[in-house]
Structure 1
Amino acid sequence: MKSVEFGAYIKAQREEKRIPQRIVAHALNVDTSTLSKMELGERQILISQVKPLSEILNIDFKALQIKYISDNIISDFSGQPYLKEALKITEQKI
């Protein structure tokens, strides 16, 4: 599950706030080349990394987690003819 959109969002937020890659990478316990791949959507950002990202980038955790989940659903299932119906059933289950 790779999300180009979410990675680009993280990169834009980091750059807007002028936070070096090395600082964010350290917060995620990854090296800068891994963070670069995450920002480019070439490497998966894990759900467990959303909280540290929200803290280091000063982004509301709830909003960032919702964006992460939404972007990953779209990335994985966009174009599926029954996506809306599946989401409705999923919502009922949770």
Structure 2
Amino acid sequence: MIRKLMKNNPDLQIIATSHSPYLLDHLKPEEIRLTTLDDKGCAHVGKLKDHPEFEKWKETMRPGEFWSSVGEDWIRAVEKEQEGGAD
């Protein structure tokens, strides 16, 4: 149903939340955003494809399987690296 909506409305953006790796398997990796909270309660968002190991595993693992194995804790480290190490 989501694919049909997106096909019929190419400018449509859908934001959905789930803890289901099976749902993620129906999405393209570039469509998946992960969220995590830091110790202060601030939200951080990262793209699944930005995980440092994504390129290595993208051919052998489905998106949901990859997410289940890596979690979200890596997001803040990638953010800091992209910002040049700034806190």
For Structure 1 versus Structure 2, the TM-score category normalised by the shorter chain is under 0.3
Higher strand content, 1 or 2: 2
Whose relative contact order is higher, 1 or 2, with alpha carbons under 8 Å and at least 6 apart? 1
Higher helix content, 1 or 2: 1
TM-score with structure 1 length normalisation?
A: 0.23
TM-score with structure 2 length normalisation?
A: 0.24
